[in-house]
Amino acid sequence: MGVDGGAVHGQGTAHADASPSLDALLEALPVACAAFDCETGRLVAGNRRYHDQFGPVPGHVSRDRLMRELHPGSTGDTPGRRDVRLPHSGRWYSLHWGRVEDTGQALDLLSAVDISERIEVLDSHKSRQEKLLFTSRLMSVGEMAATLAHELNQPLAAIVNYLNGSLRLVGQAGGPVQVERALQAARTQAEHASAVIARVREFVRAREPRRSAHRLAGIADTVLELLRLEAERQELCIELRLPEDLPDVYADRVMVEQVLLNLVKNAIEAMRETPPGERALRVDGRVNLDGDVEVRVVDRGSGLSQAEQDQLFSPFFTTKADGLGIGLAICRSIIEYHEGRMFFEPSPEGGSVFGFTLPVAEGRT
Ligand SMILES: Nc1ncnc2c1ncn2[C@@H]1O[C@H](COP(=O)(O)OP(=O)(O)O)[C@@H](O)[C@H]1O
Ligand SMILES: [Mg+2]
Q: Where are the domains of the chain?
A: 16-114, 117-207, 214-365
Among all bound ligands, the one having the nearest atom to the CA of 264 is 1
Judge whether residue 182 has pLDDT over 90: yes
Q: What gap in Å lies between CA 34 and CA 97, rounded to an integer?
A: 10
Pairing mode, strands 238-241 and 281-287? parallel
Ligand closest to CA 313: 1
Closest residue (by CA) to atom 1 of ligand 1?
Answer: 267
**Averaged over 66-84, what is the pLDDT?**
72
Whether residue 11 has pLDDT greater than 70: no
**346 Cα to the center of ligand 1, angstroms:** 13
Residues at CB less than 6 angstroms from ligand 1: 262, 266-267, 270, 299, 301-302, 304, 308, 312, 317-320, 323-329, 352, 354
Task: State the virtual CA torsion across 52, 26, 96, 32 in degrees, nearest 10.
Answer: 20
Is-cis flag, bond preceding 176, omega within 30? Answer: yes
Mean pLDDT of the chain: 84
Predicted confidence (pLDDT) per residue in 330-343, tens digit: 888 788 878 899 99
| Secondary structure percentages of the chain, helix, strand, coil, to 5 | 45, 20, 35
Residue 253, pLDDT > 90, answer no
pLDDT in tens, 241-252: 999 999 999 998
Domains 117-207 and 214-365 share a fold: no
Confidence tier at 230 by pLDDT (50, 70, 90)? confident
With 0-12 CB in 10 A as exposed, 13-18 as middle and 19+ as buried, what is 239? exposed
pLDDT over 90 (residue 225) = no
Q: Which atom of ligand 1 is nearest to the CA of 266?
A: 8
Segment 334-359 mean pLDDT: 92
The number of residues making up the chain comes to 365
Between the CA of residue 218 and those of 152, 191, 193, 221, what are the distances in Å?
Answer: 26, 16, 17, 5
Q: Which atom of ligand 1 is nearest to the CA of 262?
A: 18
Whose Cα sits closest to atom 9 in ligand 1? 266
> Per residue in 101-125, pLDDT tens?
867 788 999 999 999 888 888 777 7
Domain 117-207 is of which CATH architecture?
Answer: Orthogonal Bundle (1.10)
Best residue for ligand 1 mutational test, from 260, 318, 335, 352 (most atoms within 8 Å of Cβ): 318
Specify the fold of 214-365: Heat Shock Protein 90 (3.30.565)
Mean predicted confidence (pLDDT) in 45-68: 90
Residue-wise burial string across 212-234, b where 16 or more C-beta atoms lie within 10 A, e elsewhere: eebebeebbebbbebbeeebeeb
Q: Of ligand 1's atoms, which has the minimum distance to the CA of residue 325?
A: 19
The fold adopted by the segment(s) 16-114 is Beta-Lactamase (3.30.450)
pLDDT computed for residue 232 by the predictor: 85
